[in-house]
Chain A
Amino acid sequence: MNSILKIIKSRGAIVFAGLAISVFLLVMTGRTIKWEVVTNAFKSAVWLPWVPLAVFTYMVGMLLRGLRLQQLVGNEANLTVATASNIIAVGYAVNNILPARLGEFARAGMLAERTGLPYALSLTVTFLERLLDGLTILSLFVIASFITPTQDWMRNASQIAALAFAMVIPCVMMLALFPQMSLSLISQVSHPFGRKLHHKALAITTQVTRGFSCLRDAGSAMVVLFLSFLIWGVEGLMFALVMPCFLMLFSPVKALAVMSFTNLGILVPSTPGYLAVYHRCCSEALQAVTSQQGAGMLTPFLPADVLRVIMPVSVNMVDPSTAISYAVVVHLIFYATVTIWGVIAMARYGMELGTTAAMAWEAKPVPLQELEAQAHNFALITSTPVVKNEVLCFKKTPFWRSLTEAMVLPAEEHQLPLCEEERARALEDATDFLCREISSLPPKLAGMLKIGTIGFRVLAALISFNTFENLSLKRRSAIVNAWSYGKVSLTRKLFKPLRSLALLAFFENEAVQAALEKAAGAGANPPLKAPEEGAIAVEKSEAAT
């Protein structure tokens, strides 16, 4: 109770505005609705199989959200998809029950509690998820309302959305790819507005860039983006599945437009569960997209059969009362499913609503304080949490193991007296060292090295009809040597640092040094050979070029 009061106090204005807007829209909608049409629509609605299918689809969407959350925290915590989905469901459920979007804080709180991640990092992750959602919905809205014929107001709205998208995307790219530049820029811009604002701006920038750091790796960025589109595509499918309930034709593209507009609409403050705002946005969007016939901008690009499935042409404009009925059902499916799921999850984890609210309060960032331990001229701007596992951009995989082995092992006749276990250990350590070292290269060089090694692997696979790591040591050594000591200076430059690092670690290994010592003690020092003129001739010809 105490915590709820605290929340109301701190976010009182938003809570009040939300309530006022919901009441206003409720009254407005109530005045324009013909209740007998709504009753008829419900009476004549076809519930089966559409509603169960829609509920199922929504639940699939929640699991996908869990999968994305698992990906986002993958480097820092172990989280199953089920737990991640439960955490999200709790957040949604709290949003449906408590005001002021407290669910976002509850979600961060629970994420922290379940994974042991610091609250600040959980908040950053939650913020990143919401931002990804916002961007995905925005782009889906723009795409869907450009390709489906719709009313002017919606087209205008989508143009504004496109503009917002065009403005937000460069900012996101800037924050994700150029964190230092963003910090400098924000510092310069906010500095003249006084210390408090300067610090606030820097704190937000730091947290956002920290959150976005996972997008800097092209691979994980692609996975997260793909999942985001899949999540909201599935949500659009849920909207489409409710259409036939009210004798509308199943139309995924139109449903996508309705879904995205509705979800953008609920950014406006409202009561818990987005009462009235959700309904109004959903019904207006449905009317807008069903008011025009045809397949719009898609006509020239897709075959008629495909168009008939995704954007059926025989749709008539839905009347306002049926549209509201549709909105009520869609909202109910979303509200009931996620709230029940959330409450069950809370019960499972032994939490009560009050505790969740308290957790939400806990999860809020700590207020700024002076760094007492240091000095009066130090001001704390923000804290960023620990990254538990070091993220290496070159992970120790079988490829790197087999490459290390091919690079370091001396020729057969000079093998060191190492037992199998010692040899394996030394190679393992060398691989570990190699991967850590090359992961520490400045990002641009690491990127170039990545491209180089991908090229190497692809070419090695093409000439051997097998992956590099599955080749025999002899074959691997032959390929590596051809690249390391061939005529092409670029491939030599690629392999020089790799071999040097691997050799350094291998020969610094205690067991290897002991074996060398043993070999030397046994008089195994190879006799020194006569000068190799041949090699110098190679050199000479290079010098000539």
Chain B
Amino acid sequence: MSQIEKKERGQVLIIGSGAGGTTTAITLAEAGFDVVVLEEGARHPLTSYGQPPTKAMNQLYRNRGMMPIMGSVPIGYVEGRCLGGSTEINSGFWHRLPPEFLLRWQARFGLQDFSLEALDGHFAWAEDKLKVQDRNGDWPKSTQVFQRGIEAMQWSAQEVRRAASGCVNTNACAAGCPKGAKQGMSVAMVPEAESLGARFITGARAKLIIKHGNKVTGVLADITKPDGSSDLVRIDADYVFVCAGPTQTPALLRKSGIKEHIGDTFQIHPMLKVSAVFDEDIDAHKSVMPLLQVKEFWPDISLGGSFFSVGHLAINLADNWLTTSDVIQNYRRMASYYVGVRGTGAGTVRASLTGDGEAALKYELSDVDIRHLSQGLARLSTLLLAAGAREVYPCVFGLPKITSELNAVRWLDESLPRSSLSLTTVHGFSTCPIGERPERCAADSFGKVHGLKNLYLSDASMLPDSPGINPQGTIMAIARRNALHFAETHNQQGT
């Protein structure tokens, strides 16, 4: 398609190159739109991936990984800031949205055209692009011992498919896969989008969306040049898609004066980590994280494997370092796991008034969340002890270790004290819910922001509620569906 034909179809500006942004870019470029993607982070070659965590945090993470969610229990949160967004640093665990949630969202948010059949093809498309598959080859040791525990407890579990074909166990998912096996956007989809004519401009941070009446006319962005200086530019576009992720999309919209149901319903999956020491060598620092997830207590509670490095083990032991510092010497016999709960608390994302309007994140855990975390800890500890763990070290201040099932099951009935918990999360969403319920949705069922003719959103922020699973698959499938819908309606209108 010629440049003139593309221009006639319309100029589309996409902010963010993560799971939502790149899916939108590839779909609209395919449909013949003139697509420009602004990405705040840099484009990194594979050769620069796989650095030690301390370096990777500087290279690939927003705020060098320092984005705590404030509340009575501060929760550690990270997200990516590079070409490909968080898909570059995630583990590639893949799920389809369970039918239960599909129905729930339809009922609560009035989502149109949101059936299992309607989404099926979009999931399949994304799975094909990211070569999602079961693992071929043996399970790593950390998965094997987990499996032992699952069998002993006779709980239902599943091996999670991954977007990581040809994974060779570098244990570098969180630092960018240096082998290109993990199918982050920069490997799996950006090159194809570029071949279709989409232009990805990295180092370009959207600062403000410029509106005129009920239309967006363009975006103000800071583009950082290789020498470190930056240009403030205005970019005009016929359509703007905000795909800056669950925290940055609401922050950008709010500082641009778009606030209706934006950033009011921040949801997360709070996670409590534990490390366990076994009698045998696990060498978890040399292998991919455990691949099984316990589904017995889903959707409220999930149990699974966590990233392991000696440094991260030290963090897990930090809550009780006075009594646990010696344990680190057993690192070769240790592995880390998590209890994840489907958050039911209340959170917000606001643009700070001071400074550059950075996103200020808040989340208050509900009592139900605390109960679920406590029960999850009891179950995970029991499972690990049943699998042969000698001791289990939870990230709970004042609870240095759990050494017997009897100690563990206590937490089925008692709640862990809030002030003792050290929680983290890597899943954020629902800050700009989509749907046809104007009293609770920021955008319509296809991501068009209410009250504005040509502004769309398509990323984790649009998920109406917490999905209870690793969310990348759902984000990509809905982003694909929305982009196709956009292309169809705009081709019909002949813009």
**Chain A residues engaging chain B, CB cutoff 8 angstroms:** 118, 177-181, 183-184, 187-188, 191, 199, 202-203, 206, 216, 371, 374-375, 377-387, 410-411, 413-414, 433, 436-438, 440-445, 481, 484-485, 489, 492-493, 496-497, 499-500, 503-508, 512-513, 516, 519-520, 524-526, 528, 530-532, 535-536, 538-539, 542-543, 545
Contact = CB atoms under 8 A, between A and B. Distances in A.
A436 B58 CA distance: 9
Contacts of A485: 320-322, 397
A209 B11 CA distance: 31
Contacts of B396: 539
Most buried by A among B52, B229, B322, B398: B398
Most buried by A among B11, B228, B229, B311: B311
B250 to A, nearest CB: 14
Nearest to A375: B36
Contacts of B210: 187, 191
B378 to A, nearest CB: 13
A183 B234 CA distance: 13
Contacts of A445: 68, 70
A183 B208 contact: yes
B188 interface: no
A484 B314 CA distance: 15
Contact of A443 (B220, B256, B330, B354): B354
A375 B13 CA distance: 12
Interface in B344-401: 351-360, 390-391, 396-401
B66 A438 contact: yes
Contact of A386 (B66, B228, B309, B321): B228
B310 interface: yes
Most buried by A among B321, B332, B359: B321
Contact of A526 (B233, B326, B419): B326
Contacts of A118: 229
Interface string B290-319: 000000000000000000011111110111
Nearest to B281: A520
B220 A543 contact: no
Contacts of A526: 326-327, 329-330
A391 to B, nearest CB: 13
Nearest to B228: A386
A202 B422 CA distance: 43
B415 A543 contact: yes
Contacts of B414: 543
Contacts of B402: 531
Given A492-B397, A499-B318, A542-B419, A437 B354 contact: no
B110 interface: no
21 contacts: A177-B355, A178-B353, A183-B207, A184-B255, A191-B212, A381-B231, A386-B227, A410-B326, A411-B326, A433-B54, A441-B66, A442-B66, A444-B360, A508-B52, A513-B310, A516-B310, A526-B326, A531-B403, A536-B398, A536-B399, A536-B407
B119 interface: no
Contacts of A531: 401-404, 407
A107 to B, nearest CB: 21
Interface in B47-89: 52-54, 57-58, 63-68, 70, 74, 76
A413 B325 CA distance: 11
B355 A538 contact: no
Nearest to B238: A377
B416 interface: yes
Given A187-B220, A199-B234, A442-B63, A500 B227 contact: no
Contacts of A536: 398-399, 407
Contact of A503 (B218, B229, B318): B318
B420 A180 contact: no
Most buried by B among A216, A378, A383, A413: A378
Given A203-B232, A525-B329, A532-B401, A437 B57 contact: yes
Nearest to B256: A184
A179 B311 contact: no
B470 to A, nearest CB: 24
B354 A178 contact: yes
A381 B398 contact: no
Contacts of B357: 180-181
A377 B420 contact: no
Given A177-B354, A181-B353, A445-B70, A187 B232 contact: no
Nearest to A521: B332
Contacts of B54: 433, 504-505, 508
A-B pairs with lowest CB-CB distance, top 9? A180-B357, A386-B228, A508-B311, A531-B403, A503-B314, A504-B311, A440-B64, A539-B398, A489-B419
A516 B76 CA distance: 27
Contact of A378 (B67, B235, B331): B235
B323 interface: yes
A507 B228 CA distance: 32
Nearest to A513: B310
A47 to B, nearest CB: 52
Contact of A380 (B231, B323, B333): B231
Given A180-B355, A443-B352, A507-B314, 15 more contacts: A202-B220, A203-B232, A379-B234, A380-B232, A383-B232, A413-B326, A441-B66, A441-B68, A443-B354, A497-B74, A503-B311, A512-B310, A535-B401, A539-B396, A539-B420
A489 B315 CA distance: 18
Nearest to A384: B230
Contact of A496 (B231, B331, B353, B422): B422
Given A184-B256, A202-B232, A496 B401 contact: no
A381 B311 contact: no
Contact of A507 (B57, B70, B311, B360): B311
Given A433-B54, A444-B352, A377 B231 contact: no
B199 A440 contact: no
B31 interface: no
Contacts of B208: 180, 183-184, 187
Nearest to A526: B326
B353 A497 contact: no
A442 B311 contact: no
Contacts of A443: 352, 354-355, 358
A145 to B, nearest CB: 34
B397 A381 contact: no
A532 B400 contact: yes
Nearest to A512: B310
Contact of A497 (B68, B220, B351, B352): B68
B198 interface: no
B45 interface: no
A382 B354 contact: no
B196 interface: no
A410 B212 CA distance: 61
B236 interface: yes
A511 to B, nearest CB: 12
Interface in B201-236: 201, 207-208, 210, 212, 218, 220, 227-236
B450 to A, nearest CB: 20
Interface in B132-189: none
B328 interface: yes
Nearest to B309: A508
B257 A508 contact: no
